[in-house]
Amino acid sequence: MQKSRRSIKFYLSNLKIAVSGTEKNFTTGSINRAIFMLSVPMILEMVMESLFAIVDIFFVSQVSINAVATIGLTESVIFLVFAIAMGLSMAATAMVARRIGENKPEEASKTAWQAILIAASFSMLISIPGLFFAKDVLQLMGASEAVVEEGHGYTKWMLSGNITIMLLFLINAIFRGAGDASLAMKTLWFANGINIILDPILIFGLGPIPAFGVEGAAIATTIGRGSAVIYQLYSLFFKGNIIQIKKHHLMPNLVIIKRLIKVSLGGMGQYLIGTASWLFMVRIIAMFGSDAIAGYTISMRIIIFSILPSWGFSNAAATLVGQNLGAKQPERAEQSVWKCAHYNMFFLLFVSILFFVFAEPIVGIFNASGQVATYAVQSLHYITIGYIFFAYGMVLSQAFNGAGDTRTPTIINFFAYWLFQLPLAYLLAVILGMGPAGAFLSVAISIVFIASAFVVAFRRGKWKLVQI
């Protein structure tokens, strides 16, 4: 009993350190402890982002169907912003982590500011058209006149204010690369906390504040994320963290900018390849009716929520690889990745067993019934067959990104999704007549293929030689 109490006390003590973020350099000491210190705040960060998405759509769904349609159409355009943000974030994490591992905080700070300059420049290319052509954007996406009339304000706010999205994700990636996952977590909690509070006030009105409808959701999002970006910039300029931007960093540095763009292109490619292939998979499943699409959509929402902790392990691997390669410790970097992958495997093994046993009641939470529920359960059963392999694929992919080798995951993803998964889905579902089950099975098979490809590429060790 006493030993158990000591273990609990030790765990709680480490949990407090992880959330507070007092440790930032992970090139020495226990690898297991380093993984814990990084992954815990990253998991909590992802949980808050997921909670915000649920709350946001809950309030908007009470406005009208057109309001929900507006969000869907706008997000299909703004995924380009996410592609740029994700690509730059991968590059920033890798390069900042490498400089920290080399014990060069001055160079890390310089790199951080150059990444911010790139993000701000890209965002302006989207902000200006978004401000003046929001209605045209919705019409181009096939929105009805009613949707355009009701929702163009939402689209205008989201597109013109996209710099808040870009910088929020990018600067959090900088914090994670510097080993300060706790600050990234607190920033996102701050942003989404404000958003959740403002959502009902601005959507439905309160006292002298008028009801803005769906436009209010965009205003709340922009204010929440904008406030968090101000806090991030304050931390970078005035708080005395590892990354400390000074006046002499503010001039553009073309050498670093070119390097960041080169690394980020692979990250953008990974995001675009994955998103586009998912759209085509939906198109294949849509051939079998709305029930199949609804079932697949429900299963994917469940799956995305269930793998949030996995992103914590994966992002931890990226930071550990970057810092340890910078410290000239490639073997420690490799050990860190395999440990992250093993922990992720145990977690997803537990989740897959849970989904096999309790798939029907879990699907029932989403009020699914009849054929929709059947497809959702079937999708969960098939896709989670590959969960153990998926655990390794996620971590190893982020490990490559953390090393600055964004090209390898891009190539693997292109072949796996476009030349393997989609043709296989069409073959099984349509040509061989398996229906939606064939498409679901193709996802599981492709997960095994992707994980195997990453294991082979990772064991070759070329990622240890990447210079960024």
pLDDT tens readout for residues 336-347? 999 999 999 999
Mean pLDDT, the chain, rounded, equals 89
pLDDT tens readout for residues 210-243? 999 989 999 999 999 999 999 999 999 988 788 9
> In this model, does residue 3 exceed pLDDT 60?
no
The top-scoring range by mean pLDDT among 203-207, 357-361, 385-389, 427-431 is 427-431
What pLDDT is attached to residue 48?
78
- Two tokens, residue 412: 């693997």
pTM of the model: 0.86
Q: How far apart, in whole angstroms, are the C-alpha atoms of residue 174 and residue 154?
A: 29
If one counts every other C-beta atom within 10 angstroms of the C-beta of residue 131, the result is 13
pLDDT tens readout for residues 38-86? 888 988 888 877 777 777 777 887 888 777 777 777 777 787 788 888 9
Sequence length of the chain is 468
> In this model, does residue 108 exceed pLDDT 90?
yes
Q: How far apart, in whole angstroms, are the C-alpha atoms of residue 468 and residue 462?
A: 14
Rg (CA), the chain: 22
pLDDT tens readout for residues 399-447? 999 999 999 999 999 999 999 999 999 999 999 999 999 999 999 999 9
> In this model, does residue 368 exceed pLDDT 80?
no
In this predicted model, which residue has the larger pLDDT, 396 or 364?
396
In this predicted model, which residue has the larger pLDDT, 142 or 235?
235
